[in-house]
Amino acid sequence: MIEYVDADKAPLKNTGQIKIYSQEDFEGMRKASQMTAECLDALVPLVQPGVTTQEIDDFVFQFGKERGGVPATLNYRGYTKSCCTSINRVICHGIPDPKKKLKEGDIVNIDVTYIVDGWHGDSSRMYPVGKLKPAAKRLIEVTHESLMRALEVAKPGNTTGDIGHAIQEYVESERCSVVRDFCGHGVGKLFHDMPNILHYGQKGAGTKLMPGMIFTIEPMVNLGRPDVKVLKDGWTAETRDKSLSAQFEHSIGITSSGCDIFTTSPAGLFNPLDAQTGAAA
């Protein structure tokens, strides 16, 4: 039986219960999340052929330092970087590396979480490196659209299973696959909390969505099979069949009628392919 607890009265740890947050808490989440979104916007011109993933990490660290945001991944469970940079077949948790240069045609997910006043703003997007092949563009479009469809059903009365179902049904109808090994998560004063948000599932399954819940939705979608291989570094997760993988992530709060998206892009750059069309026009 899933229990819901008032976040103000719950201990600062994962108790297995789902925390219900106040309007004031929502404003704390929005502030942290907007710093993350501004950083992801500011990264757009930096993501070019020849730039290293360490240079991206340095930018994320510095951007936070100048604004009072601490990267949540720094020293998180032994991780030592300020963001994750996941290129092509890397599904998630790619480690920034001074030897890793982006090249024309790559697709890279950059995942940033700043902590501001104790609140965690967690978001990621895809970035095209120069001109993409049609298959890579399509994967990005399908993954972005799967998150948009999930946000439509993230409202009271629905369940976490409705979110997973919306993603899975759409992704598979596009002959892509949903990664099962990683999920969205409760977020707030903790980086990873209950509930788990699976990106696949049955309508009506899982736990009921209630106003005041705060969590991420972060579907990882592969062009090929869903199977994952974690490299010897203990972090980098790749597609087993070496097919391309993409991911988008928002941090959201459930309201009385729908959801509040905390990590919206101030510059309207969340979907990189929209932005590219704009630049070419």
Sole binder of ligand MF3 in the list 113, 143, 236, 271 (CB under 6 A) = 113
- Is 218 annotated in a binding site? The answer is yes
Q: Say if strands 214-217 and 228-230 run parallel, antiparallel, or are unpaired.
A: unpaired
| Tally of CA atoms within 13 A in the half-sphere of 249 that contains its CB | 29
- Per the listing, tokens 């501001």 go with 116
* Residue 122 contacts ligand MF3 per CB under 6 A: yes
Pair of tokens at residue 271: 């979907």
Sole binder of ligand MF3 in the list 34, 36, 73, 236 (CB under 6 A) = 73
- Per the listing, tokens 């994750």 go with 84
Task: Name the minimum Å distance from CB 123 to Co ion.
Answer: 6
Task: Name the minimum Å distance from CB 57 to ligand MF3.
Answer: 11
| Tally of CA atoms within 13 A in the half-sphere of 133 that contains its CB | 8
Sole binder of ligand MF3 in the list 47, 218, 254, 265 (CB under 6 A) = 218
* Residue 249 contacts ligand MF3 per CB under 6 A: yes
Sole binder of ligand MF3 in the list 76, 133, 135, 205 (CB under 6 A) = 76
Residue type (1 letter), 141: E
Binding segment (CB under 5 A) for Co ion, from list 19-27, 32-40, 120-128, 199-207: 120-128
Sole binder of ligand MF3 in the list 111, 162, 193, 238 (CB under 6 A) = 111
Cβ proximity to ligand MF3: between 107 and 183 the closer is: 183
Cβ proximity to Co ion: between 25 and 122 the closer is: 122
- Is 199 annotated in a binding site? The answer is no
Give the ranges where the chain is alpha helix by DSSP (H). Answer: 23-42, 53-67, 134-152, 160-173, 272-280
User: What is the SS3 string spanning 17-76?
Assistant: CEEECCHHHHHHHHHHHHHHHHHHHHCHHHCCCCCEHHHHHHHHHHHHHHHCCEECCCCE
Interhelix angle 272-280/134-152, rounded to 10 degrees, is 120
208-237: which residues touch Co ion (CB under 5 A)?
216
Binding segment (CB under 6 A) for ligand MF3, from list 3-11, 50-58, 70-78, 170-178: 70-78
Sole binder of Co ion in the list 25, 38, 122, 193 (CB under 5 A) = 122
Q: Say if strands 18-20 and 4-6 run parallel, antiparallel, or are unpaired.
A: parallel
Burial class (CB in 10 A: 0-12, 13-18, 19+), 134: exposed
Residues touching ligand MF3: how many (CB under 6 A)? 12
- Is 97 annotated in a binding site? The answer is no
Residue 147 near residue 176 (C-beta atoms within 8 A): no
Site for Co ion, rule CB under 5 A: 111, 122, 124, 216, 249
Q: Could you tell me which residues are annotated as the binding site for a divalent metal cation?
A: 111, 122, 185, 218, 249
Residues contributing to the annotated binding site for substrate:
93, 192
Task: List residues near ligand MF3 by CB under 6 A.
Answer: 73, 76-77, 79, 84, 93, 111, 113, 122, 218, 235, 249
